Chains A and B, each alone.
Chain A
Amino acid sequence: MKKIFLLSIILFAALVIQSCSDDSVTNQDPPVNDNLTLIGTQYSNGMKINLYSDTVLFTGYNDLYVEVKDSVSGIYVNDAHVELMPMMNMGSMSHSCPFDNPSSSTPVNGKFPCDAVFIMPSSAGNWTLETNIHNHITNEKASVIFPLTVTEPVYSKLKSKTVNGSTYFVSMIEPSKPKVGINDLMLKVNKRVTMMDFPNDSAYTFSVYPWMPSMGHSSPNNVNPVYTTQGMYDGDVNFTMTGDWRITLKFIESPQDSLSFDLVF
């Protein structure tokens, strides 16, 4: 018993020492994910804040990455609280859109992953992303605003549908690079509660039906998307050949309602 007690103290000490020595900042740069697109850079209260996305921002679901560095030393801030507020200013009115704040105060590869579903392109007004950061290491706070340019993709990746009086936004996240064969089907569903509040939603389930309009045929063995977490649905959609495809999603609980995504590859 005594031995176990001693051992646990040693172990605990070792853990504390290790976490201390590794705490808050690293001198080494985290591995660079060079496939990301830099959206903008802002400085505030000794912090350099970079905003990245996977591609150019478009109407629909976008993964975003907030990188926070010490503006002088360039050292990554590894403990911070990050909050977003995307905003569309249309002149006469403004509104927000669905988004998810980083789920943790610890970055992944130096960046805080978060996302936003832009529900219209910048041609309708001005998109901005207000980013509030509380640096837990320096206890400094910063608030910066990134101007954003959101383009409309050729084939829409976001559809809205009013079902039983409520408006839902359905984003098709995957397939982002469709291929012949089995494709991951990933959707995100948000409900519009107010113009500023678009919570993740899991009220409906969907059936998936791919269709080739030019030839008039479907594809077999698709897997209906099922709800996972944070408004996300996961399933499979199969394409038997390249060409133009239409993915139709039916609201199972409201069978008269459906929406479709077109894609071409």
Chain B
Amino acid sequence: MNFRKIFLNAVYSVIFITSILHAQEADTSFRHYIIDKGINVSRINLSKEELGFYKSSDLNSTEEILNRLGISFIRRGNYAPEPVIRGLNTNQTDITINGMKIMPACTDKMDPVTSYVETENLGEIEIESGTGTGSLLSNSGGKIDLGLYTPKFSESFRYNGNIKSGYQLASENYKGSFNLNLTDRKFSINVNTTFNTSGDYKKSGGIAVWNSGFKKYNFSLNGSYKLKSKDLININGIIDDAYDVGYPALLMDVGSAKARIIGLDYQADNFMKFFNNMRFKIYYNKVDHIMDDSRRQNGFRMDMPGKTETFGSSLTGSVYFDSKTQLTSGFEFTNSLISADMTMYFSNNIPMYMVTWPDIRKNAINSKFSLLRSVTDNLTVSPFFGFGYQNSDIGNIVGFNSLQIFYSDLKKSSSRNLFSGGVKISQRITNSVLAELTASYSERFPTASEEFGFYLYNKFDNYDYIGNPELKNESSYQLNLGVDYSKHNLSFKTNVFGYFFSDYIMGVFDNSVSAMTPGSNGVKFYSNTGNALITGFEMNLMMNLSEKFSLVTIVNYIYGKEFNEDPLPLIPPLNSTFSIRYSNKNYFIQLEEILNAPQNRVSKRNSESASAGYAISNLRVTDRINKWFSISGGIENIFDKEYYNHLDWLKIPQKGRNIYCDLKISF
């Protein structure tokens, strides 16, 4: 393996360089920084975050916030875009809610986990890019954890809350929410309800994009009880229902998408005098996704319900052995059921029924250990190791028989395991410069569609996809070099990374099998296509030019190719955001310029076509009128440019000029 050699050499040379550069200054906050942050981890606490760059209004959507944290999105409409971390989509990344695993229930990826929360539910968002030292084993491309409400306590009984209401002109989007907190010395209760409805949005020139509206209701309840100063019992519940969601870039829309999420967790400091901190979690969730094509003129009707159910439990804890050594470990068990089928109605013919996800029951366990060792005051080395096991049972006999057409040796029950591991070296170079290198190996399991999917139509390349139970795990060697510079009014953070994949999973066209979906080009089988490379960098600069002016610049670049030199599909082009903000005591004005280069590196295998670049400008204003009232507003796409992003399916233009206004009343 050539990769292995390059990889090891790179690791050795960086270790060597860092040991030379190693400076002698001591700083207690350094250790803290390593434990808390890490350069490949972005974290934002929404309940503490002041309105500013990351959160420009109290009614920002989760996607807007994630986008400013460097996440790209694959769009199939104006709802539930699929998050992409460094060019890796939800096949290679995990999205969890408060650490809870949730299985999307749509075979066409219309419901990434991000679609089952509202920003109003969230406390802290954490994004880990690539494999890292997180306490639980996550997917090879990293994870987005959408942490729920962070409990607050007060000396005596208090209540507070807010009512938020916002309107967006371009999509006639109305969003309203009500939030109530009850706190005491021992308990904290938070209730939140949100209503979000949108009509068809208008692209440039005020032309409506047909069938792009949605309706969504969300209710959440968070309760916490304090046992000791830092020992808490939390219960979180979310009910999230979306109705009549249009997906202009797909053949089908969504009649309803419903999630029921409940989690209970216990967190303790100094648990049993052994664990310095410990968190135990038990959770259950259920997703029902019903597609609908009653508004479409496809020439036939289809019912495509999907549902998933997940029960899980996890235990994470850290032990400080001495002042220099800390061990963090996590264990997780999940049991999930994934099922979907399809019934087609063609004029007077009898209904045609097919099973697309054959009631797959997955039992999975995984564990992870990371050791943090301060070698000197400025150098920390953290080796980490993870192991995962998964057993899949096919419960639907029709689905099993269907897959047997292609895989005569198919077993009803199969299992897989995976390993991941690596080392992260953090080196303080000067007081304000920190360098961090992560070198790791990781694997991922194929997804339910990749392993057992049956004739799943993909509108992007217009092929039917069939799963492959004989797939090998996709594996990758990853290198990430991060540098963080912070001094006074300047903070600069950059990551350079390279992911070297083996057994990269993609669909491969097979001309011996005829397409099922009318109009489809043919059938692709998920296959291990060999090696692939994803490399790139991201940069984040925040600067306070004066007391009142501040500047934020973000630049992301990703380069992806298969080893036959064919570019990988859906790789975001070079993109950047420049923002300049003027802030006074009670208000701020922010001007943003979003730039996207054209993307000419496109995947032939996936019938991808090049995309044009674009520049759009946004203006945002927020005014805190007094203790009770705050108002935000702005104009997005000021010059009403017609544009689409390279990751927008069918290149359907995004919103034209959009004027929004949000009001928050606190009590």
Report, as a range, how many residues of chain A touch the other chain.
20 to 34
Shortest B467–chain A CB gap in Å is: 13
Distance between Cα atoms of A238 and B351 in the complex (Å)? 18
Query: Is A220 touching B515 in the complex (CB atoms < 8 A)?
Result: no
Closest Cβ neighbor of A236 among chain B residues: B405
B390 at the interface (CB under 8 A from A): no
Bound: A58/B86 CA distance, A: 65
- Judging by beta carbons under 8 Å apart, are B514 and A181 in contact? no
Q: Is B344 an interface residue when CB atoms closer than 8 A count as contact?
A: yes
The answer, among A180, A215, A216, for a CB contact under 8 Å with B402, is: A180
CB pair B347–A182 under 8 Å, yes or no, is no
**B272 an interface residue at 8 Å Cβ cutoff?**
no
Residues A221 and B406 in contact, CB atoms below 8 Å apart: yes
| A219 contacts chain B at the CB level, 8 A cutoff | yes
Query: Which chain A residues numbered 180 to 196 have a C-beta less than 8 Å away from chain B?
Result: 180-182
Say whether B354 contacts A180, CB under 8 Å.
yes
- A194, B513: Cα distance in complex, Å: 43
B516 touches A215 (CB 8 A): yes
Contact B514 A243, beta carbon cutoff 8 Å:
no
Contact residues in A for B398 (Cβ distance below 8 Å): 179-181
Q: Which of A221, A238, A240 contacts B354 (CB 8 A)?
A: A240
The answer to the question of B415 belonging to the interface, with a C-beta cut-off of 8 Å to chain A, is: no
Q: Which of A215, A220, A243, A244 contacts B405 (CB 8 A)?
A: A220
Instruction: Give complex CA distance A220, B355 in Å.
Output: 16
CB-CB under 8 A for A212 and B513, given A180-B401, A182-B401:
no
User: Within the assembled complex, what's the spacing in Å between the Cα atoms of A216 and B519?
Assistant: 10
| A243 B353 Cβ-Cβ under 8 A | yes
* A240 CA / B515 CA spacing, docked (Å): 11
Nearest residue, chain A, Cβ from B520? A217
Cβ contact within 8 Å between B516 and A217: yes
B443-482 vs A, Cβ < 8 Å mask (1 yes, 0 no) = 0000000000011000000000000000000000000000
Complexed CA–CA distance, A140 and B353 (Å)? 57
* Minimum distance in angstroms from A69 CB to a CB of chain B: 41
Asked if residues B405 and A219 are in contact (CB atoms below 8 Å), the reply is yes
Is the beta-carbon distance between A243 and B401 smaller than 8 angstroms? Answer: no
B20 in the interface, Cβ–Cβ < 8 Å? no
Mask for A236-248, Cβ within 8 A of B = 1, else 0? 0010111110000
A220, B514: Cβ atoms closer than 8 Å: yes
Question: Contacts of B346 on A, CB cut-off 8 Å?
Answer: 214-215
CB closest residue in chain A, given B454 = A240
Report yes or no: A221 in contact with B344, Cβ–Cβ below 8 A: no
What's the tally of chain B residues with a CB closer than 8 Å to chain A? 29
| Residue from the list B353, B400, B404, B518 in contact with A215, Cβ < 8 A | B518
Q: How far is the CA of A180 from the CA of B396 in the complex (A)?
A: 12
Q: How far is the CA of A179 from the CA of B408 in the complex (A)?
A: 16
Question: Which one of A180, A182, A218, A241 contacts B514 once the chains associate, using CB atoms below 8 Å?
Answer: A218
**Which residues of chain A have C-beta atoms less than 8 A from B405's C-beta?**
181-182, 219-221, 238, 240
CB within 8 Å of A: which of B308-355?
342, 344, 346-347, 349-355
When the two chains form their complex, are residues B351 and A220 in contact, meaning their CB atoms are under 8 A apart? no
Using known A-B contacts A214-B349, A215-B346, determine if residue A242 contacts B354 with beta carbons closer than 8 Å.
Answer: yes
Complex: how many Å from CA A242 to CA B353? 5
User: Which residues of B lie under 8 Å from residue A181 when comparing CB positions?
Assistant: 398, 400-402, 404-405
CB distance from B637 to the nearest CB of A (A): 42
Q: Mark B401-439, 1 if CB is under 8 A from A, else 0.
A: 110111010000000000000000000000000000000
Name the A residues within 8 Å of B454 (CB-CB): 240
Could you tell me the dominant secondary structure of chain B's interface residues?
loop
Interface membership of A264, Cβ < 8 A: yes
A124–B398 Cα distance when bound, in Å, is: 40
Q: Does B156 contact A (CB under 8 A)?
A: no
Chain B residues whose CB sits within 8 angstroms of the CB of A214 once the complex forms: 346-347, 349, 352
Closest B-chain residue to A264, C-beta based?
B350
Q: Does B626 interact with chain A (Cβ within 8 Å)? A: no
The residue in A179, A180, A220, A238 that gathers the most chain B C-beta atoms within 10 A of its C-beta is A180
* Given known A241-B354, A242-B353, contact A217–B404 (CB-CB < 8 A): no
> Min CB distance, A134 to chain B, in Å?
46
The 8 Å CB contact of B406, one of A220, A242, A243, A244, is A220
Nearest to A212 among chain B residues (CB) is B352
Residue B512 CB within 8 A of the other chain: yes
- Interface pair A179/B350, CB less than 8 Å apart: no
Residues of A within 8 A of B402 (CB): 180-181, 240-241
Instruction: Write out the residue numbers on chain A whose beta carbons fall within 8 Å of the beta carbon of B353.
Output: 180, 241-243
Q: Is the CB of B514 within 8 A of A217?
A: yes
- With the chains together, A180 CA to B300 CA distance in Å? 21
Chain B residue with the shortest CB-CB distance to A243: B352
The answer to whether B349 and A244 have CB atoms under 8 Å apart is yes
Q: How far, in angstroms, from A59 to B354 measured CA to CA in the complex?
A: 31
Name the residue on A nearest B403 (C-beta): A181
Q: Are A243 and B349 touching (Cβ within 8 A)?
A: yes
Chain B residues, Cβ within 8 Å of A182: 401, 404-405, 408
Measured CB to CB, the closest approach of chain A to B341, in angstroms, equals 10
The residues of A that contact B351 with a CB separation of less than 8 Å are: 242-243
A121 to B516, CA, bound (A): 37
Cα A244 to Cα B349 with chains together (Å): 7
Cα-based distance from A180 to B404 in the complex (angstroms): 10
Bound state CA distance, A219 and B514, in angstroms? 7
In the complex, which residues 208-252 of chain A have their Cβ closer than 8 Å to any Cβ of chain B? 212, 214-221, 238, 240-244
CA distance in complex: A41, B406 (Å): 48
User: Shortest distance in angstroms between B299's beta carbon and chain A's nearest beta carbon?
Assistant: 10
Contacts A181-B404, A182-B404, A220-B406 known; A242 to B516 CB distance under 8 Å? Answer: no
In the complex, per-residue mask of B346-380: 1 if CB is within 8 Å of any chain A CB, else 0: 11011111110000000000000000000000000
A216 and B518 contacting across the interface, CB-CB below 8 Å:
yes
B620 to chain A, nearest CB (A): 50
CB-based nearest A residue for B341: A241
User: Which one of A182, A215, A238 has the highest number of Cβ atoms from chain B below 10 Å of its Cβ?
Assistant: A215
**A215 to B300 CA separation, bound complex (whole angstroms):** 9
Which of B401, B455, B513, B516 is within 8 Å of A179, CB to CB? Answer: B401
The docked-state distance in angstroms from the alpha carbon of A182 to that of B408 is 9
Q: Is the CB of B515 within 8 A of A243?
A: no
Task: Give every chain B residue within 8 A of A179 (Cβ-Cβ).
Answer: 398, 401
Question: Least Cβ distance of B348 to chain A in Å?
Answer: 9
Complex CA distance for A214 and B518, rounded to whole angstroms: 10
In the complex, what residue of chain A is closest to B510 when comparing beta carbons?
A220
How far, in whole Å, are A196 and B355 apart by their CA atoms in the complex?
48
Closest to A222 in B: B405
Whether B350 lies near A243 (C-beta < 8 A) is yes
Q: Which residues on the B side are within 8 Å of A217 (C-beta)?
A: 514-516, 518
Cα–Cα, bound, A216→B455 (Å): 14
Q: Which residues of A contact B401 (CB under 8 A)?
A: 179-182
B344 and A243: CB pair below 8 A? yes
- Using Cβ atoms and an 8 Å threshold, which residues of chain B touch A240? 354, 402, 405, 454-455, 516
Q: Roughly how many angstroms separate A82 CA and B121 CA in the complex, as a whole number?
A: 81
Q: How far is the CB of A223 from chain B (nearest CB, A)?
A: 10
Add 4 more A-B contacts to A179-B398, A179-B401 (CB < 8 A).
A180-B401, A212-B352, A216-B518, A221-B405
Residues of A that sit less than 8 Å from B by CB: 179-182, 212, 214-221, 238, 240-244, 264
Cβ contacts A to B, 8 pairs, < 8 Å: A181-B402, A182-B408, A220-B405, A221-B406, A240-B405, A241-B353, A243-B352, A244-B349
Listed from nearest, the 9 A-B pairs whose CB atoms lie closest are A181-B401, A243-B352, A241-B354, A214-B346, A220-B513, A218-B514, A238-B405, A242-B353, A214-B349
